[in-house]
Amino acid sequence: MKTYLYLALAAYPLFLLSIAGCTDSAAGEQNVAHEAAPTTEIEKWYDLSFTMAERDSMQGTLENRLEAYQQIHAYSPAGDVPMSLYFNPLPIGFEMPKEQKRHNWNLPKTVNLPENPADLAFYPVADLAVLLRTGKITSVELTRFYINRLKKYGDSLQCVVTLTEELALKQAAKADKEIRTGTYRGPLHGIPYGVKDLFAVEGYKTTWGAGAYKDQVIDQTATVVNKLEEAGAVLVAKLTLGALAMGDVWFGGVTKNPWNTVQGSSGSSAGSASAAVAGLVGFAIGTETRGSIVSPSTRCGASGLRPTYGRVSRTGAMALSWSMDKVGPICRTAQGAALVFQSIIGPDGKDQTLLDAPFNFDAGRDMRKLKVGYIKSYFDSSKNANDALALEAIRNMGVEPVAMELPTNVPVRALSFILAAEAAAAFDVLTRSNRDSLLVRQDKWAWPNYFRAARFIPAVEYINANRLRFQLVQEIHAIMKDYDVVITPSFGGDQLLITNLTSNPCVVVPSGFNEEGSPTSISFLGNLYDEGTLLEFAHAYQQATGHEDVHPEWLRE
């Protein structure tokens, strides 16, 4: 069992540096009053209070520590070197699911090409799979179709960093030959997709959305890209992300919401959500640390899955938070997300956080047999009318959700700096080299300021925060284990932070449109490693509502 501890470099507090001018001589008493005020002023930022004698005693130890820090800085491990200790999301007593059942995708028996060729852009993964398998379209034809749309609309949406046209056409030709000769790899075979540009692809730039890395080429291909190639999928584009996985502002501009191009797409999986909804790719891959799949999926009207931590390999992906980063699909439907997810899960022999657990999906499962809860206080305080309408639609499915809450004794918001500490460590060299000035955003709430401030998070506080995180995992599991699905407004209360800390999976799907004509969403939460139940429930909801079938008219030309 992996340990619950975390490793972080100890950031030496500012107040410790202030004692350098103190003296241990008797005559130094005259300096005490002079030094006490500024030192005490700095100590308050750490909730500490030391005497001058205590400060003086620490000085030698701190000088030694400073030397150790400088040696570590000189070494500067490569960006793909993870922590040696890993977050374990499994609560005490949790039983890992073991049975792998036969998938029931319930793919349509027949699918025809649309009268309006542009409508093909919005076919879900399931329909594209049938078209390709039955030979009604070739992968090369579909790939050229999506590449043309990426070229036509990519600039308007500012969602594309790099077209991988040469690679895509080569992969598509291979897919056509295999399908034609009876070597069928599965439902993703021949389907073009895009990947968030924090995943390395050998021979192509991997920019992380940031000016400081816009010419970076990593001699590696991410595991998730390799797994999709093994499934026969075709990589057509590397898509935008907010710089270093924050927001929708990248070095080339602001990625747009396809429903309202005056508005950003949110982030950080900005291009993945925008391109999927705009019909520029068959599906896309995103990542989430604290909302980076849920938020852009909500803004753009996509169907996204944030899986359990340790489900999908992060090998070859930019590290932001070793204990919170998660990889998941962003599609036009929940069924599509299930089809993609089953191709990217599982160990790769490199990412040591991965656990091998079954993934089961039955599109025909009776939802009325599930125990479903809804977080009542979040719905009561919601200002989004579509949240209540989503609950009504679910009741019309024959499901009667039970009112419940997610109470916890843990001060959840206080744990936010766990992410800041890990991100600052990941981008330590960027901060100390001052190359963080190359990022577009330089405001108080942007990464450069977060990284600098995080240098002064004490290691003791970081570890204690993670001890509280362990407690949070136990408390939330004690509640969630009584439900198969829990329904919540996507941004209700603290659930987005809570479930990213505990690693409970989430499926987010469209729930309609607001008064401004932009999409809204509803989220379904589940138990660890039970993404299948959530995706089945989301699929049933979409079958009952059809919100995912509406597409921006200007993109149907």
Q: Which of 268, 343, 490, 523 is catalytic?
A: 268
DSSP for residue 410: S
Q: Is the dihedral of CA 139, 551, 269, 106 positive or negative?
A: negative
Are 105 and 128 contacting, i.e. CB atoms less than 8 angstroms apart? no
Does residue 292 have an active-site annotation?
yes
The CA dihedral of 152, 157, 158, 164, to the nearest 10 degrees, is -50
Q: How far is the C-alpha of 360 from the C-alpha of 495, rounded, in Å?
A: 25
Do you find a cis peptide bond into 268, omega within 30 degrees of 0? Answer: yes
Q: Beta-carbon neighbour count of residue 549 at 10 Å?
A: 12
Are 271 and 283 contacting, i.e. CB atoms less than 8 angstroms apart? no
Are 186 and 230 contacting, i.e. CB atoms less than 8 angstroms apart? no
Q: How far is the C-alpha of 387 from the C-alpha of 543, rounded, in Å?
A: 17
CA 481 and chain centroid, separation: 24
Point out which residues pair with 288 in neighbouring strands.
Answer: 326
Element at 512 (helix H, strand E): strand 506-513
Are 14 and 42 contacting, i.e. CB atoms less than 8 angstroms apart? yes
Does residue 268 have an active-site annotation?
yes
Are 255 and 270 contacting, i.e. CB atoms less than 8 angstroms apart? yes
Angle at 244 between CA 88 and CA 152, to 5 degrees: 120
Buried b (16+ CB within 10 A) or exposed e, 124-148: bbbbbbbbbbeeebbbbebbbbbbe
Are 489 and 391 contacting, i.e. CB atoms less than 8 angstroms apart? no
Q: Which of 265, 269, 274, 292 is catalytic?
A: 292
| Secondary structure (H, E, C), 295-363 | HHHHHHCCEEEECCCCCECCCCECCCCCCCCEEEEEECCHHHHHHHHHHHECCCCCCCCCCCCCCCCEC
Q: Is the dihedral of CA 185, 187, 191, 194 positive or negative?
A: negative
Contacts of 197 (CB under 8 A, 6+ apart): 161, 162, 206, 207, 208, 209, 238, 239, 240, 241, 271
Q: How far is the C-alpha of 521 from the C-alpha of 538, rounded, in Å?
A: 11
Residues labelled catalytic: 196, 268, 292
